[in-house]
Amino acid sequence: MPDERTRPAPPPEVEEVADAAEASGDGAVPVLVEEVMADAQTVADEETTVTEAVKKTESPRPFIFDPLAPYKGAFRRFFTVYRHVAGLLMGGLIAYVRALPPEHKRGLRSFGVRSAALFLTPFVKGELRRLPFPVQLRRRLEILGPTFVKLGQILAIREDLLPDSVTSELRNLFDRVPEVPFSEVRRIIERDLKRPLERVFADVEQEPLGSASIAQAHLATLPDGEKVVVKVIKPGIRDVIVSDLTLLDFFARLLEWIIPRYQPKQVADEFASYTIREVDYTYEADHAEIFNVNFDAEPGIVFPKIHRDLSSENVLTMEFFDGFKPSAERMQELTPENRHRVIDLGAKAIIQMLYQDGFFHADLHAGNLMILPGPTPETPVKLGFIDLGMVGRFERKTQRRMLYYFYALVTGDVESAARYLVAMARVAEGGDPEGFRRAVTDLARRFVMHSRTGHLSIAALILESVGLGARYRIFFPVEMTLMVKALVTYEGVGRTLDPSLDVTTVSEKHITKLFQRNFNPQALSQELLRSAPEMADLLVQLPQLLSRGAKVLDEQLNITKRPNPLAGLRSAILASACLIGGVLTIVQGGPIWLWILLFVAGGIWSVFGGK
């Protein structure tokens, strides 16, 4: 491993990160481990010195009773966030007035908002108040730190809730962020793995492979020569995020009163549920193992193997994929067969994740895909997925509806597609589901017409359909937009490899196979077995139900009544209701025993009901 004492001083941006951490209440940056290890001569001496350094660094301070200590940092952080939220609201009003048409800036037109903007101008920083609102939002999220940068990245994919101008600007938050010094990475690894770095790895590259808002990754070599990637959560990030999520929930509740149309509370809750898992690498390790099990039968689709003994909450050691990103120039070196193989593997992987497993990569973009070539150009390539901390899950009912919706889209059944989409939505107060269904149907027809020229984008169709929801007060779970993000990534990579790619044809091949697999006799029998507890419960209660039914029937037979001229009509209506209910149960993916029962009841009513 290179001698760290000869390493140059960290660049200015790294010092800025340390200053920001110190200012936000994260505590002083710990003593550098390499200074303690400077005079180590042997591995044994190294281990003793490191252990003493870690103990010295983590030695407890004298106990001082201070009941307000846990809240001091939160109070300071609260006022910092409050200042930026207030500044954003004031800056948004100023930007709104600046964007008014010239005729609205003359005379008494829009006098109220113009006066308010003029009054508030001195209270907003000059460097920010001259910027458009989307740019102000991005800049303030960057100033507030990693939690809010991550929030901006989540907002960037919510085209169904936010205007295009906002989401387009927030995509700039995906750029590379400053890295922390390697000495901090070393300290965290040695603390969590309880061993000197040299005892764990034969070599660790000090230059990171990548640095994100929460963590950064380094390439390392195990003693047996295996190349691995070591991801480390940046120091102090977890405490900052937990504190910020509490404050974020408070501000979301406040904004819910001001701008309820954009569902700030829902966005904040979704963000919190995903982000809290990203600062604990045990979740990502679990996700990787689940994906490996799900795709065990497909050797062309791979996920990194996890070294559990070299991982913890803050450190994740996993298999290194020696490949290249879809944007690399090496993509041009692939043979036509391997190009089509990448497209086919991508379609299979995404369709299986979304519609078969209901467990999918929720942060899928071109940077999280790896093309793994073989030893020769003719060897079939593999498709690898990395960065598995953020995953989405579909409940079985939603998964079935998503499958039907996607199948209807690729087969051109726009009416059914609109019906399934509405079934997955949440209708807010004052919502117009029928108007939304008509608008989505018209939109789908327009896209299907374009598909005849080979320009149909299924991802764009779903995205525009979901985006129409806010206009009709119809809202969708965050998994819908994450699903669209995965489809957009697939289409973008696929058309990079083959500009004439027909996404519908490729998707239809895989979705049809999945549809047939889900509805073959074996799958239906398994579905019946899953409903066995409900059927057993029904059988246990059947004697009581029959006894009560017979008693009611006997009472009715002993009562003399005039013939009812509408008795036959009533039986016909009941029989029809049972039959229609059975059909709807099949279509909506209901339990088999229910639709069988409905069909049997319908037949009985139709035959004996009129007598």
* 516-566 confidence digits (pLDDT tens): 776 666 655 665 666 667 666 666 776 776 777 777 777 666 665 555 555
Confidence of residue 394 (pLDDT cuts 50, 70, 90): confident
Q: What's residue 558's pLDDT?
A: 66
Q: Domain boundary residue among 518, 553, 588?
A: 518
597 and 473 share one domain = no
Q: What's residue 70's pLDDT?
A: 43
Half-sphere exposure of 544 (CA within 13 A, CB side): 5
Greater confidence, 131 or 480? 131
Domain contains 235: no
Angstrom distance (rounded) from CA 99 to CA 119: 17
479 and 424 share one domain = yes
Look at residue 33 and tell me whether its pLDDT is greater than 70: no
Q: Are 489 and 442 in contact, with CB atoms under 8 Å apart?
A: no
Angstrom distance (rounded) from CA 110 to CA 419: 43
Virtual torsion, Cα 85, 86, 88, 91, nearest 10 deg: 180
DSSP labels for 403-417? HHHHHHHHTT-HHHH
Domain contains 438: yes
394 and 504 share one domain = yes
Q: Is 593 left (phi over 0), alpha (psi -120 to 50) or beta?
A: alpha
Instruction: Please tell me the total count of domains within the chain.
Output: 3
361 and 492 share one domain = yes
Domain contains 19: no
Look at residue 337 and tell me whether its pLDDT is greater than 80: yes
Look at residue 254 and tell me whether its pLDDT is greater than 60: yes
474 and 505 share one domain = yes
Q: What range does the domain containing 154 cover? A: 69-176+241-272
395 and 443 share one domain = yes
Local structure of residue 496 (DSSP, 8 states): H
455 and 485 share one domain = yes
The owner of tokens 């099990």 is 293
Per residue in 56-80, pLDDT (tens digit) is 434 444 434 444 444 455 566 777 7
Q: What is the mean pLDDT of the chain?
A: 76
Domain contains 55: no
Per residue in 137-178, pLDDT (tens digit) is 888 888 887 777 777 876 776 665 677 788 888 877 765 566
Sign of torsion, CA 491 493 496 501?
Answer: negative
Closest C-alpha to 196, from 4, 398, 473, 389: 4
333 and 412 share one domain = yes
Q: State which of 18-22, 292-296, 411-415, 438-442 shows the largest mean pLDDT.
A: 292-296
Helix, strand, coil percentages, rounded to 5, for the chain: 65, 5, 30
Look at residue 21 and tell me whether its pLDDT is greater than 70: no
Domain contains 470: yes
